[in-house]
Amino acid sequence: MLRIPSSESPFLKALAGQTNAPPPIWLMRQAGRYLPEYREVRSKVSSFLDLCRTPELAAEVTLQPLRRFDLDAAIVFSDILIVPYALGQKVEFVEGEGPKLEPVSDARGLARLSKGSAAKAFAPVYETIERVRAELPRTVPLIGFCGAPWTVATYMVEGGGSKDQAEARLWAYREQANFQRLIDLLVDTSADYLLGQVAAGAGALQIFDSWAGSLPEDEFARWCIAPTRRLVEQVKAKAPDIPVIGFPRGSGVLAEHYARETGIDAIGCDTSQPIEWIRDRLQNLMPVQGNLDPLLLVAGGPHLDRRVASILAALGSGPFIFNLGHGIQPGTPIENVERLLHLVKTGSA
Amino acid sequence: MLRIPSSESPFLKALAGQTNAPPPIWLMRQAGRYLPEYREVRSKVSSFLDLCRTPELAAEVTLQPLRRFDLDAAIVFSDILIVPYALGQKVEFVEGEGPKLEPVSDARGLARLSKGSAAKAFAPVYETIERVRAELPRTVPLIGFCGAPWTVATYMVEGGGSKDQAEARLWAYREQANFQRLIDLLVDTSADYLLGQVAAGAGALQIFDSWAGSLPEDEFARWCIAPTRRLVEQVKAKAPDIPVIGFPRGSGVLAEHYARETGIDAIGCDTSQPIEWIRDRLQNLMPVQGNLDPLLLVAGGPHLDRRVASILAALGSGPFIFNLGHGIQPGTPIENVERLLHLVKTGSA
């Protein structure tokens, strides 16, 4: 695959440490339910997982937001639970309830997991990337992604989303060696998966650690930082030129350790992190991405304008990628997204 | 009521800025389901709210953990949703589901709230405090408490607990003036309530802001810091000698602003805050309280011993109150609590 020269992409320039005016922008979950054209495609398949596994449709929804908005990157339409599915765990998406998995919480459950047919499960994602890459303007990079080992492990142990990841944290305290085996398996499988996405045409990668915030510092070092570092090392060993964004959501003060110790190229910031702190403690280390409140994009109005201006003022004079601090909400009005793009692209009201 | 001379209570000495060896200790939700004697009392009433409103039983469960463990403070058994209940909102505790409230989300809902019969709703809590005070050793202070206006407002707007307080945050963005009216009502009512608890015999106060972590910085300043400051001012105007602990759970980096700007005497720290950061950024400003992971107290074992030692080493040489970073879990083994008390009281394994 021909690589995009980073000089032609503000997104890749920012990831390489350059300051852009205006900064590049993309939005987490930019392909999603707030778009009527997404809802139309979604209605053609019976399950969310089927949409992820049908390259023709997944490619279409990946491209939809790029047709509407002047976004600087696409992100492949998929889900972080593709990895447990690829390891043989039963994964379902129950409409209105979120994902349901058959929980793994002992050595027997671990023994049933296998990388044996992972490549087959990942193949549709790779094909989606190839299809998107063929249609995207060559200056627009496509982001590949996976969930961080800790976050994916919480879903595997809890059997779904959970309020405070208590089962996973408790198992990690009680049977550290077994939990480490699960994490190791996820590191290796996720490295293969990210490298497969790069081979298919992904020009940048993001690692989503959505539940990093539930870990106290010792466990954050053990289950968030260390596995992410090993994952990044394995990816960099074979794809040294592909930038990796880490997103340790909710990590607060600990984000600085994460930035220093994982080997990532850029860090995603969530809405709880103050922008001056991001500038002084993170942007001095590496490019930063974030962190508009997705609910403010739902609400819109003068408050949105003011906050976008504040973020641009605080972070725009260093390497920066404008994004939300969490995924876009299904109820977001399209005109508010248009307004956001206008504000960021023109730097003014 | 006779005040306890603070020289006789390590807990009050710590709140006054003194260093104690060993540090005082109490545990959030120390009266609760992990105690068989609590479960026995609980089985006598049909609902959790009835337990809070029956002074004889509420006093009994408040005292239970003090009989078992060498704790340095008691905390009145009650619930933060007593305030919405006192304002006339319908509040129920559904077994296994948590609290359910009739949501308030517009001007009409606001208009139905009234302080008119609040004093009557608070009376059982005051009587509980009087009963506990009469039985507690005079050197053991009793903590009164309330929820912070922001956190209580989220329950009132969402109709219960919620994953990310989205409805409350969205209403605050869309109808700032109405949301401000709700917050103002909560500030005034909570001030009356805390002062009533002091008059009944509470020797210290804690303000629980459990959902402080869902607010971006501008909203954190508006809905967490500003109302807490006004609440503390109103309490201090009439009870200047009663120390107030603020607990902005999940506030991460923003906890430092909270400590500097609310007028509180001490700050509670949650499990996500690194202990060296707490020492360097918060304990240099005021006494700190926290922050052992409640799940580690469930798990027990050598990992618990090591973490307690780390916390004592980092925070024990300044004004410090040992506590958990969140409420004690129902499944906590009693022997692990005994072990914790032993570790803290002897400073060794």
Mean pLDDT of A227-247: 98
If pLDDT is split at 50, 70 and 90, which confidence band does A5 have?
Answer: low
The answer to whether residue B94 scores a pLDDT higher than 90 is: no
What pLDDT sits at residue A140? 97
- With beta carbons under 8 A apart, name residues in chain A contacting B271: 216
The 10s digit of each residue's pLDDT in A85-115 is: 999 999 998 877 889 999 998 999 999 999 9
What pLDDT sits at residue B93? 87
Retrieve residue A177's tokens.
Answer: 């060696």
- With beta carbons under 8 A apart, name residues in chain A contacting B298: 170, 173
Mean pLDDT, chain B, as a whole number? Answer: 96
Mean pLDDT of B3-17: 87
What pLDDT sits at residue B327? 97
Tell me if chain B has a CB within 8 Å of the CB of A252. Answer: yes
Q: For residue B289, list its beta bridge partners.
A: B268, B321
Catalytic residue among A38, A53, A79, A339: A79
Tell me if chain B has a CB within 8 Å of the CB of A307. Answer: yes
Tell me if chain B has a CB within 8 Å of the CB of A166. Answer: yes
Tell me if chain B has a CB within 8 Å of the CB of A299. Answer: yes
Which of A209, A214, A293 is most worth mutating to test chain B (most B CB atoms within 10 A of its CB)? Answer: A293
The answer to whether residue A349 scores a pLDDT higher than 90 is: no
Tell me if chain B has a CB within 8 Å of the CB of A273. Answer: yes
How does DSSP assign B105-164, residue by residue? -SHHHHHH--STTHHHHHHHHHHHHHHHHHHS-TTS-EEEEEE-HHHHHHHHHHTB--SS
What pLDDT sits at residue A50? 92
Residue A196 lies in a domain: yes
A41: left (phi over 0), alpha (psi -120 to 50) or beta: alpha
CB pairs under 8 A between A and B: 91
Mean pLDDT of B48-71: 96
With b for 16 or more beta-carbon neighbours within 10 A and e for fewer, the B237-253 pattern comes to: eebeebbbbbbbbbbbb
Mean pLDDT, chain A, as a whole number? Answer: 96
- With beta carbons under 8 A apart, name residues in chain A contacting B303: 173
What pLDDT sits at residue A98? 87
Residue B1 lies in a domain: no
Mean pLDDT of B297-322: 97
Residue B322 lies in a domain: yes
The 10s digit of each residue's pLDDT in A192-229 is: 999 999 999 999 999 999 999 999 999 999 999 999 99
Determine the residue of chain A that is closest to B307 in CA distance: A218
Distance from CA of B253 to the nearest CA of A (A): 6
As a whole number of angstroms, the distance between CA B51 and CA B61 comes to 9
B96: left (phi over 0), alpha (psi -120 to 50) or beta: left
- With beta carbons under 8 A apart, name residues in chain A contacting B307: 216, 218
Q: What is the CATH number of the domain that holds B313?
A: 3.20.20.210
Q: For residue B326, list its beta bridge partners.
A: none
What pLDDT sits at residue B186? 98
Distance from CA of A325 to the nearest CA of B (A): 10
* Helices and strands (DSSP H and E) totals, chain A: 17, 9
What pLDDT sits at residue A163? 85
Locate all alpha helices (DSSP H) within chain B, ordered by sequence. Answer: 10-15, 36-42, 48-52, 55-68, 82-86, 107-112, 118-135, 149-158, 166-174, 176-200, 217-219, 226-238, 255-261, 275-277, 294-299, 302-315, 334-346
Percentage of the residues of chain A whose pLDDT score is greater than 70: 98
Distance from CA of B125 to the nearest CA of A (A): 30
Q: Which of B252, B291, B303 sits opposite A272 (nearest CB)?
A: B252
Tell me if chain B has a CB within 8 Å of the CB of A302. Answer: no
The complex's ipTM works out to 0.94
What pLDDT sits at residue B97? 83
Tell me if chain B has a CB within 8 Å of the CB of A271. Answer: yes
If pLDDT is split at 50, 70 and 90, which confidence band does A138 have?
Answer: confident
User: Number of structural domains, chain B?
Assistant: 1
With b for 16 or more beta-carbon neighbours within 10 A and e for fewer, the A190-222 pattern comes to: bbbbbbbbbebbbbbbbbbbbbbbbbbbbbbbb
Mean pLDDT of A249-276: 97
What pLDDT sits at residue A321? 98
Contact assessment for residue B166 and residue A297, using Cβ atoms and an 8 Å cutoff: no
- With beta carbons under 8 A apart, name residues in chain B contacting A308: none
- With beta carbons under 8 A apart, name residues in chain B contacting A169: 293, 295
Tell me if chain B has a CB within 8 Å of the CB of A86. Answer: no
Mean pLDDT of A129-147: 96
Percentage of the residues of chain B whose pLDDT score is greater than 70: 98
Residue B203 lies in a domain: yes
Determine the residue of chain B that is closest to A270 in CA distance: B216
Range of the domain at A50: 6-346
As a whole number of angstroms, the distance between CA A287 and CA A155 comes to 29
What pLDDT sits at residue B10? 97
The 10s digit of each residue's pLDDT in B160-193 is: 998 899 999 999 999 999 999 999 999 999 999 9
Can you give the length of chain A in residues?
A: 349
Retrieve residue B129's tokens.
Answer: 């405090």
Residue A1 lies in a domain: no
The answer to whether residue A147 scores a pLDDT higher than 80 is: yes
pTM, full prediction: 0.96
Residue of B8, B20, B13, B12 lying closest to B316 (CA atoms): B20
Burial of B134 (0-12, 13-18, 19+ CB in 10 A): exposed
Q: Is B173 within 8 Å of A295 when comparing Cβ atoms?
A: yes
